[in-house]
Structure 1
Amino acid sequence: MFAVITGGSGSGKSDYAERLSQMLEPGKKLYLATMMVWDREGEERVARHRRMRAGKNFETVEVYTELEQFCLPKPFQPGDASVLLECMSNLVCNEFYRQEKGAAERIMDGICQLAGQCRHLIVVTNEVSADGRYYGEETERYRRLLGRINCFLGSRADLVVEAVYGIPVVRKGRLP
């Protein structure tokens, strides 16, 4: 199953993605962390997410860029792995600032390659355009890129769930 979990900041999307991952695979799972830590707030966020994952059989691997180069680590087997990637908005940002040109293609290739290695792939992403505000040209280019990637994810996914106030709202597919 390929699932996409989206929502705004603090919407409960991470918690729901972890619960869905547990439901699909109670055993060993891979957590792909994409957030680069730059400050105290980032450290606190990472620590909170690690506490949330504690005892849930996740092995964490940090993948900040070049998802298209990623190969499953041992003992995960291609075609049998369950992977939770969090968060697409961070991966898009990292690729955007590494080399904006070609970022969409690199990320989409990476998702296709990763999905081909997985039995279950859950991707967490953010909804960043719902407020209707303008944030400047550079930020708008990032938001358009993330929107393009999110549309790609939604078109490929078996299941799309939006977390709203901690409530999972199915936008595509059926919950397992």
Structure 2
Amino acid sequence: MLYFITGGQRSGKSSYAQRLALQLTDRPVYLATARIWDEDFRQRVERHRQDRGPEWTNLEEPVNISRVDIDGRVVVLDCITLWLTNLFFDNQEKSVDEVLEMAKLEFEKLLEKKATLIVISNEIGMGGHADNAVARRFTDLQGWMNQHIAAKADEVTLMVSGLPLTVKAGKQEKRRE
């Protein structure tokens, strides 16, 4: 089962994904893709860790997300945007199309796992047009990868102001009450 949760910054994506994971299992996995680049971001990551309880297994993998051992688990992957940022900047010499193909291949390997995936991403292209070429290239990469994941997903949810809007409804997996 693949759940895809997307939306703007601070739209409630992570909270919604975590609640969903806890409805599906009492021992969820949190797969973080972030690299810590400054003190402010380190504090933000630490706040996220503290918000999750001891029932969570925390894994960190900034690039090779298919290498994690998650078979049989419910996994919140947070997030595609940071993962793509890592791929994008690790491969600056490559075109957006080449990085997109790398991302799709890695994501397909992740889908081969026997896990329930709750994947979080950002809709960064809904605002104004980026003012520089790098930002425009990344926005294209993000949008195309989001489309790829949404096409594969069983359910797609768009978060707006803390409210989940169903974009694509699929079969319901049994949730714990």
Q: Same fold (TM over 0.5)?
A: yes
In structure 2, the partner of 1:13 is 13
Is 1:172 the equivalent of 2:171? no
In structure 2, the partner of 1:159 is 155
Equivalenced residue count is 168
Residue 127 of structure 1, CA deviation: 0.7
Match of 1:133 among 125, 129, 135: 129
Is 1:85 the equivalent of 2:80? no
**AA paired with 1:62?**
E
Preserved CA contact (<8 Å) 2:129 2:136: no
**Pairs within 5 Å for 1:22-37:** 22-26=22-26, 28-37=27-36
**Pairs within 5 Å for 1:60-79:** 60-68=58-66, 70-72=67-69, 76=70, 78=71
**AA paired with 1:63?**
E
Tell me the distance in 1 between the aligned counterparts of 2:64 and 2:89: 12
Tell me the distance in 2 between the aligned counterparts of 1:107 and 1:58: 26
In structure 2, the partner of 1:4 is 4
**Pairs within 5 Å for 1:72-151:** 72=69, 76=70, 78=71, 80-100=72-92, 101=94, 102-151=98-147
Preserved CA contact (<8 Å) 1:8 1:127: yes
Preserved CA contact (<8 Å) 1:64 1:91: yes
Preserved CA contact (<8 Å) 1:5 1:160: yes
Identical positions, percent: 31
Residue 132 of structure 1, CA deviation: 2.6
Residue 172 of structure 1, CA deviation: 0.4
**AA paired with 2:128?**
G
User: Which sections of structure 2, spanning at least 5 residues, go unmatched?
Assistant: none
Tell me the distance in 2 between the aligned counterparts of 1:124 and 1:60: 16
Preserved CA contact (<8 Å) 2:87 2:99: yes
Preserved CA contact (<8 Å) 1:34 1:86: yes
**Runs of at least 4 residues of structure 1 off by over 3 A?**
none
Residue 71 of structure 1, CA deviation: 3.5
Preserved CA contact (<8 Å) 1:64 1:94: yes
Preserved CA contact (<8 Å) 1:88 1:126: yes
RMSD, aligned α-carbons: 1.5
Residue 134 of structure 1, CA deviation: 2.3
Residue 58 of structure 1, CA deviation: 1.7
